[in-house]
Amino acid sequence: MTKRALLLINRHSRKGKENFAQTVDLLNNWDFEIISVPLKKVEDIPFLLEKYRSSIDLVIVGGGDGTLNAMADMLVETQLPLGIIPLGTANDLARTLGIPNSIAEACRIIAEGNLKYIDLGWVNNKYFFNVASLGLSVKITQKLSKGLKRRLGILAYAWTALQVLSKTRPFTAMIGIDGENIKVKTLQIAIGNGRYYGGGMPIAHDAQIDDQRLDLYSLEIEHWWQIFPLLWTLPRGQQGLLSWVRTLNGKEIQIQTRKPHSINTDGEITSTTPAMFRVIPAAIGVYIPRQETQF
């Protein structure tokens, strides 16, 4: 049976512009009826989903994690199934779900129709897929240019991090979790819903996108040399092995700071402290490979 799909491709993403025609052809071959709308900016996504919600069976998005973040709220409202064509720089949600970067394979996965429901994170009325954070990561986001991402790809994150690290100072925060309040002095607090963030780093060694919990770590660094063990443990999700990295998990987390701090969700600055974080279990349906019974 032919399904009608709204195809949204961010042509400003790293691969969006050159892969648009190929994506349309592949989906047509899989017998989708495609409604394709030029996406000039990601801020248009909620309007487009509202406009077409009653006339489509699913929405297919070509872009990166920022593009997906822009549509998370409307996906919850419309409950439209989501197909993902990874065309961004990091593609952390696709990595978490086992969706390959191959456009042909991503289209095949959508056509097979293996729909699974995943959790979403929520902070101050904004949904997110992968991770929300404040501190160092916000400064990286503010400095990271689209041009650098296009030229260097995933290496752009590491290069930018090195540039801002020496200028970032610790801040004091109060973390509320499971009825306990913990005061910390930290460079960064990250709260993950999915497994991967920042180009393939696990938020925790056992994090999953359907485990109905949020995973938090706080970088409580006091000496410059402590950066070097982080370079080894962070890419493996093993930062909790270090005594100066606090790790926690729960269904609801509060963060308070003396002055407002910006919050980055999936690579986009969308909120500020004080903040309430929650996990929303089985919030939306996403097409994933058939062999991915667990994330």
Give the 3-state secondary structure of residue 86.
strand
Location of structure tokens 């999936």: 266
* Catalytic status, residue 268: yes
Q: In whole angstroms, what separates CA 118 from the centre of its chain?
A: 13
Q: For residue 115, with 0-12 CB atoms within 10 Å meaning exposed, 13-18 middle and 19 or more buried, which class applies? A: middle
Location of structure tokens 């409307």: 74
Give the 3-state secondary structure of residue 60.
strand
Which one is catalytic: 105, 252, 268, 292?
268
Q: Which residues pair with 238 in a beta bridge?
A: none
Q: For residue 119, with 0-12 CB atoms within 10 Å meaning exposed, 13-18 middle and 19 or more buried, which class applies? A: buried
Radius of gyration of the chain (CA): 19
Question: Which amino acids are annotated catalytic?
Answer: 268
